Chain A
Amino acid sequence: MLRLMRVTGSSLSPEYQEGDFVVIATIPFFLNRIQVGDVVVFRHPEVGLMIKRVSGILETEKQYLVSGTQPYSVDSARFGPVSSDALIGKVIWHIVKPAR
């Protein structure tokens, strides 16, 4: 399954900017395994859908460490690892907002 989403915020800048579109491949991940470096969308209980980059995988617990590129990014350093149940999908196509 594919889903189209739009990026808000700037914690993944400069690669991902506010207003960019992403197409994500949703589960099943066994066909499309999550790897370190992948950009994933997951559901955070307070913020809702979030997009971050996978910076580590805790294989035995099926959990993922996620991070942004900006020092003020809110990520696993703050809210801990993301469980596989919370993962929605990984970015397979990034459509960059053109400069105006």
Chain B
Amino acid sequence: MIFKLFESLDRHFGVERASAHCDIPCGIYDPSGAQIAALTVVRMVDLMAELEAKGGPKDPAYLNSMARYVAVKEEHAEKAKAEVRVIWGDFLKPTNVEKFTETHELVHKIMLLGSKSRQTADRETAVQFVEAINQFAQVFWDAKKIKTKVAKAPYAPALEMVYPDL
């Protein structure tokens, strides 16, 4: 209630920002946080499907597990979006975007896929979310002039991920 009131004030009049940020002065950016968060979304969708496939009663234990999977899916989809926004907004420069002219569209696509991943339990959407963030990671590491490699994540879901080749 109070939060919504303040949020409305912020929307209409703009509230000052106080930064607890670290990345403006320290320059630490890495898309791996977004990639892992997106992978977590796929993992939660898989766990939800496995739980449903087991059958059995929709008892408190079932509801408890399902609610936890959904909550983690929500949290990590939003986290992935936030991590991408920070890199896009604070790190990438116009010169980087000139080279990868599709960057803005890619970020927008990630935002949409992240939201859709929260709204649904559709695995294909969640996988597309991972793939789009992998593309974003590619843009990021290229901007840093660091080579990349593609390898399967060493944990479930073992999707292919873009990693810096250090």
Chain A nearest CB, measured from B18 CB (Å): 4
Are B17 and A8 touching (Cβ within 8 A)? Answer: yes
In the bound complex, how far is the Cα of B83 from the Cα of A9, in angstroms?
Answer: 11
Chain B nearest CB, measured from A90 CB (Å): 11
In the bound complex, how far is the Cα of B18 from the Cα of A21, in angstroms?
Answer: 9
A2 CB–B CB distance under 8 Å = no
User: Which residues from A are CB-within-8-Å of B6?
Assistant: 4, 6, 21, 95
B102 CB–A CB distance under 8 Å = no
In the bound complex, how far is the Cα of B18 from the Cα of A12, in angstroms?
Answer: 12
Are B10 and A98 touching (Cβ within 8 A)? Answer: no
Residues 3-18 of A, flagged 1 when their CB comes within 8 A of B and 0 if not, give 1111111111100101
A78 CB–B CB distance under 8 Å = yes
| Majority SS at the chain B contact face | helix
A-B contacts, 29 listed (Cβ < 8 Å): A4-B6, A4-B15, A5-B15, A6-B18, A7-B17, A7-B18, A8-B17, A8-B19, A9-B20, A9-B22, A9-B23, A10-B21, A11-B20, A16-B20, A18-B20, A18-B82, A21-B3, A46-B24, A47-B19, A47-B21, A47-B25, A49-B16, A50-B18, A50-B19, A50-B20, A52-B20, A79-B25, A99-B71, A99-B75
**16 extra interchain contacts, Cβ-Cβ under 8 A, other than A47-B21, A78-B26?**
A4-B9, A6-B6, A6-B10, A8-B18, A9-B21, A21-B10, A21-B15, A47-B25, A50-B20, A70-B22, A74-B24, A95-B2, A95-B6, A97-B3, A99-B75, A100-B78
